[in-house]
Chain A
Amino acid sequence: MPDTLGAALLIARKDLAIEFRTRTAFFSAVVFALLAIVIFFFAWDPTAVAASDLAPGVLWVIFTFSGLLGLHRSFGVEMADRALDGLLGAPVPRHAIYLGKAMANLVFVLAIEVIAVPAVALFYDMPLGGAKSVAALAALMILAAIGLVAVGTLFAAMSVNTRLGELMLPMLSLPFFVPIVIPAAQTTARLLAGRPVSESIGWLKILVAFDLVFVAACTMAFPHTIED
């Protein structure tokens, strides 16, 4: 019988396999992100604010909205044909289902970002700095994505069972994304301005604390959302 991590990995692989076969969700999210990046550019007055100053903010707003697109499909696939019952009937602990789906969502969100970040750099004339700052940005991206996915996966599981599920997910999740976006955007702005990472330690601490608290809380809350 697979243990929690083994089961979670099986489920994550299954989700990614399905996503890879169909690819529609991923492409839609990427196209959405690119369009949004372009629209935001034209919404601002370029004489008032330099594009490169806007870039960190735009990057992280796109992050939350395209993240939501990815999260929504996460449980949709389980509801068709009641495939979720198949998982629930299996001898895997309930939170393994959560962890597996969260891991798949994490990959999904990061994959979108791999395309979105260079796009923002390109369109907003955003200097990415040297390898070190890119690495720091990548690490920041992962930390932020963990938080987003932790909360989002849980709310996706809930939304899929409610009326107006598509509206419910953003409404529930967005307040929780704010303590991710503020530290992330602030740190990004500093990194891109060439400031040393040590200046952003306060923000990073908040982000890490958020991740720890919410991964734990959501893992514990998940069984209550799928089983009575």
Chain B
Amino acid sequence: MTDTATRNPLGSHAASDAVRPAARATFDWLFVVAVLAVIATFIRAIYFTPIEALQGPAQKIYYVHPPSAWVAFLAFGIVAIASLGYLWMKDMRLDRLAESSAEVGVVFTTITLMTGSLWGKPIWGTWWTWDARLTSTLFLWFIYVGYLILRGAIEDHGMRARYSAVLGILGSLLIPFIHLSVYLFRTLHPMPIIGKPSKPSLPNDMLETFLLAFCSFTLLYVALLRARYRLATDRAALEAEEGR
């Protein structure tokens, strides 16, 4: 890496890529803490939180579904903001951040959709329902997947960063429209009343577990994001050395 010191003043692309890899410990303590937090939440949810009267044990998915939905949308918010930042400043680090958040986010979105489905079956009797929130999550999933496939289809780093940034920003504009359209659709077309359990007023025990779930999932997101971002940084450094 000594070459970088003797070169001419580097342009914006090059400067952010003159990275300093692996000056860090190999033990990712944040990740371990996050995983432990999530496990602790699950244990508490299963064993130490009372079973809800109306819905039975299936209600426990409640401790997974909304928190992962929160993370799914949070991750996309990061993608959108990083995308905007990239187009403005052309700093490759923001592109790597967006890419990392997208990969983590798509996983949480998939979990949200699957838990939503699993929850729905015993409670509503159907595997899928076209309500506004679930549909928005589905479209979020489509955007994520489109984002990742688009990235995979472009070789040139600069073009890849620009194009995925555009998609990231447009995708964030799309989701509110989807939500609104489906919401209006449902209001005007009375569909079989599913009786979606809206946020019930929770007794303290459940509320605590619920909040714990939100916190531990967010922590997990941050840990995964950081790990993935580091991977992206290392990969960029490797490519720089190979002269690509």
- Taking residues whose C-beta sits less than 8 angstroms from the other chain, chain B's interface range is 20 to 34
**Contacts A168-B153, A175-B143, A175-B174: A217 and B163 contacting too (C-beta < 8 A)?**
no
A158 closest partner in B (C-beta): B163
Residue A119 CB within 8 A of the other chain? no
Least CB distance from B143 to A in Å reads 6
Chain A interface residue count, CB cutoff 8 Å, equals 30
Tell whether, in the assembled complex, residue A183 and residue B181 are in contact, meaning their CB atoms are under 8 Å apart. yes
Q: Which A65-110 residues sit within 8 Å CB-CB of chain B?
A: none
* A182–B154 alpha-carbon span in the complex (Å): 32
Residue A54 CB within 8 A of the other chain? no
Q: CB-CB < 8 A to A224: which residues of B?
A: 87, 162, 165-166
Tell whether, in the assembled complex, residue B173 and residue A228 are in contact, meaning their CB atoms are under 8 Å apart. no
Q: CB-CB < 8 A to B150: which residues of A?
A: 158, 162, 168, 172
CB-CB nearest 9 A-B residue pairs: A179-B177, A162-B153, A182-B181, A163-B153, A221-B166, A175-B142, A179-B181, A224-B162, A158-B163
**Contacts A172-B150, A175-B139: A217 and B178 contacting too (C-beta < 8 A)?**
no
Tell whether, in the assembled complex, residue A171 and residue B166 are in contact, meaning their CB atoms are under 8 Å apart. no
* Residue from the set B139, B142, B153, B178 with the largest chain A CB neighbour count within 10 Å: B153
B interface, over-half SS = helix
Q: Which B146-186 residues sit within 8 Å CB-CB of chain A?
A: 146, 149-150, 153-154, 158-159, 162-163, 165-167, 169-171, 173-174, 177-178, 180-182, 184-185
* A178–B132 alpha-carbon span in the complex (Å): 13
Q: CB-CB < 8 A to B170: which residues of A?
A: 151, 154, 176, 214, 217-218, 221
* A137–B185 alpha-carbon span in the complex (Å): 20
Least CB distance from A61 to B in Å reads 16
Residue B25 CB within 8 A of the other chain? no
Chain A 187-213 per-residue mask, 1 if CB under 8 angstroms from chain B, else 0: 000000000000000110010011001
Residue B188 CB within 8 A of the other chain? yes
Tell whether, in the assembled complex, residue A158 and residue B180 are in contact, meaning their CB atoms are under 8 Å apart. no
A interface, over-half SS = helix
A213 closest partner in B (C-beta): B173
Least CB distance from B126 to A in Å reads 21
Q: CB-CB < 8 A to A154: which residues of B?
A: 166, 170
* A11–B173 alpha-carbon span in the complex (Å): 28
Tell whether, in the assembled complex, residue A228 and residue B87 are in contact, meaning their CB atoms are under 8 Å apart. no
Tell whether, in the assembled complex, residue A161 and residue B181 are in contact, meaning their CB atoms are under 8 Å apart. no
* A28–B171 alpha-carbon span in the complex (Å): 31
Tell whether, in the assembled complex, residue A217 and residue B173 are in contact, meaning their CB atoms are under 8 Å apart. yes
